[in-house]
């Protein structure tokens, strides 16, 4: 019998919420580890601010609202060479942009102009991207991949006949750490240093705005804010105000990157991940933040996460993609949603969004929309 989310308390602290708390780590850690390896940004500081904002969003929204690294920026930073000041400047630009957008009702205006079939397409595109990423991870070790998937499926099957918490993500991560420690030994304890303030100059703002902020903005508007708001309504029958989500994205980025963090946002993929593995209340976010805080303070070395087999993340991501993708079918136009999904996978989410939105308005203006659904 499906759990009645409307009857839940604001906060729970049990094994189910704990399992959901680590449900999004499969997307969180690969990005921030890649950034920490190729830049001068300190991994401990990145994790510190993620922990702070996970706890804050849990207390503020009282729901498992995810906190994720900005994916477009993460991909560009990992592929190129960017300084701490350029990343800090990018965070400031995005922080101001989304804070202003939220306070002046800009997200509601955008939401009115962007149809749900386009947002569903972004959900489908992200699901396909996550599925593709999961396959890359799974192929690194077929045995560990098979065991990880088997554990998750076993919990799902047993849960259908017996009411037990789905702690499959905890078991899979525990397996991964066990394998890593047995192969490489226990990672070194490295105490976090005190974050320092960055002072970007005009060149940093120009570089960060053009190369990092502009590619990220369409993705944050659609996936981080609009798609998260819509998925929250799907899962909890209660829609989050997109302007509130925009404000928290703005505040997080005004504060964190200048102090050594990384640009962050919310995300429908993270929400799907946390929900899939058991998160239902703000307690899940609080527990996730505490876990990240402990790692940040005592285990800031990249080796700590690097000992985890990538196949473990692959096993987790497969079912995250399925959880997110199934909601994309709640669309009023399979053609537009499907087209956006495919374009997002082939090119990127921004291309899928722009092309899909343009096609929607063309079909609507010409009266062909109802004939092509």
Q: Where are the domains of the chain?
A: 5-331
Q: Which helix (H) or strand (E) holds 68?
A: strand 68-69
Global confidence as pTM: 0.81
Tell me if residue 189 falls in helix, strand or coil: coil
**DSSP secondary-structure letter at 80?**
S
Q: How far apart are alpha carbons 17 and 234 in whole angstroms?
A: 19
| Cβ-contact 27, 129 below 8 angstroms | no
pLDDT attached to residue 87: 95
Tell me if residue 299 falls in helix, strand or coil: strand
Q: How far apart are alpha carbons 118 and 92 in whole angstroms?
A: 28
Output b/e per residue, 149-170; b: 16+ Cβ within 10 A.
Answer: bebbeebeeeeeeeeebbbbbb
| Cβ-contact 19, 170 below 8 angstroms | yes
Q: Which of 316, 324, 274, 355 is nearest to 58 (CA)?
A: 274
| Cβ-contact 50, 172 below 8 angstroms | no
Main-chain phi, psi angles of 69, to 5 degrees: -70, 145
Q: Which of 267, 282, 258 is nearest to 56 (CA)?
A: 282
Q: Which residue has the tokens 């899939």?
A: 276
Q: Angle between the 268-276 and 310-325 helix axes, to the nearest 10 degrees?
A: 100
Q: How far apart are alpha carbons 67 and 23 in whole angstroms?
A: 12
List all residues 6 or more positions away from 12 whose beta carbon is below 8 Å from its beta carbon: 280, 281, 283, 284
Q: Using 50 as the pLDDT threshold, list the residues of the chain that sit under it.
A: 1-2
Q: Which of 126, 128, 127, 138 is nearest to 172 (CA)?
A: 138
Q: Which residue has the tokens 């995250």?
A: 320
Q: How far apart are alpha carbons 291 and 257 in whole angstroms?
A: 21
Q: How far apart are alpha carbons 252 and 51 in whole angstroms?
A: 12
Kindly list the distances between the CA atom of residue 12 and the CA atoms of 18, 59, 262, 280, in Å, as whole numbers in the listed order. Answer: 9, 12, 29, 8
Q: How far apart are alpha carbons 165 and 16 in whole angstroms?
A: 5
Q: How far apart are alpha carbons 310 and 312 in whole angstroms?
A: 5
Kindly list the distances between the CA atom of residue 43 and the CA atoms of 47, 78, 143, 239, 257, in Å, as whole numbers in the listed order. Answer: 6, 14, 30, 34, 12
Q: How far apart are alpha carbons 151 and 147 in whole angstroms?
A: 6
pLDDT attached to residue 1: 38
| Cβ-contact 32, 26 below 8 angstroms | no
Tell me if residue 151 falls in helix, strand or coil: helix
Alpha helices per DSSP H over 185-330: 202-208, 214-219, 228-236, 242-255, 268-276, 282-298, 302-306, 310-325
What is the total residue count of the chain? Answer: 373
pLDDT attached to residue 80: 74
Mean model confidence pLDDT for the chain: 88
pLDDT attached to residue 52: 97
| Cβ-contact 274, 20 below 8 angstroms | yes
């Amino acid at each position: 019998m499906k759990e009645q989310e409307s009857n839940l308390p604001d906060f729970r602290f049990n094994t189910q919420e704990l399992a959901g708390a680590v449900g999004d780590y499969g997307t969180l850690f690969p990005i921030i580890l890649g950034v920490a390896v190729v830049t001068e940004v300190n991994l401990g500081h990145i994790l510190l601010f993620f922990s702070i904002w996970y706890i804050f969003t849990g207390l503020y929204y009282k729901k498992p609202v995810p906190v994720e690294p900005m994916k477009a920026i993460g991909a560009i930073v990992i592929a190129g060479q960017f300084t701490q000041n350029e990343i800090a400047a990018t965070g400031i630009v995005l922080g101001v942009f989304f804070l202003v957008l939220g306070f002046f009702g800009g997200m509601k205006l955008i939401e009115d102009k962007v149809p749900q079939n386009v947002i569903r397409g972004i959900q489908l595109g992200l699901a396909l991207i996550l599925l593709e990423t999961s396959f890359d991870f799974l192929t690194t070790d077929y045995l560990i991949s098979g065991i990880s998937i088997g554990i998750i499926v076993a919990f799902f099957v047993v849960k259908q006949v017996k009411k037990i918490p789905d702690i499959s993500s905890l078991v899979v991560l525990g397996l991964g750490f066990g394998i890593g420690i047995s192969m490489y030994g226990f990672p070194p304890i490295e105490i976090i240093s005190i974050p320092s303030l960055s002072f970007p100059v005009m060149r940093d703002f120009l570089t960060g705005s053009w190369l990092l902020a502009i590619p990220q903005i369409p993705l944050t508007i659609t996936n981080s804010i609009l798609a998260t708001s819509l998925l929250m309504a799907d899962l909890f029958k209660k829609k989050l105000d997109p302007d509130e989500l925009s404000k928290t994205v703005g505040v997080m980025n005004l504060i964190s990157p200048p102090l050594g963090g990384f640009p962050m946002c919310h995300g429908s993929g993270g929400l799907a991940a946390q929900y899939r593995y058991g998160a239902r209340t703000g307690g899940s976010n609080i527990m996730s933040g505490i876990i990240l805080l402990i790692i940040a303070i005592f285990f800031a070395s990249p080796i700590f996460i690097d000992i985890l087999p990538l196949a473990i993340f692959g096993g987790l991501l497969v079912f995250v993609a399925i959880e997110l993708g199934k909601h994309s079918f709640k669309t009023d136009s399979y053609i537009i949603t499907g087209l956006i999904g495919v374009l997002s996978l082939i090119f990127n989410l921004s291309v899928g969004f722009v092309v899909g939105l343009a096609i929607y308005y063309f079909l609507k203006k010409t009266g062909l929309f109802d004939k092509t659904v």
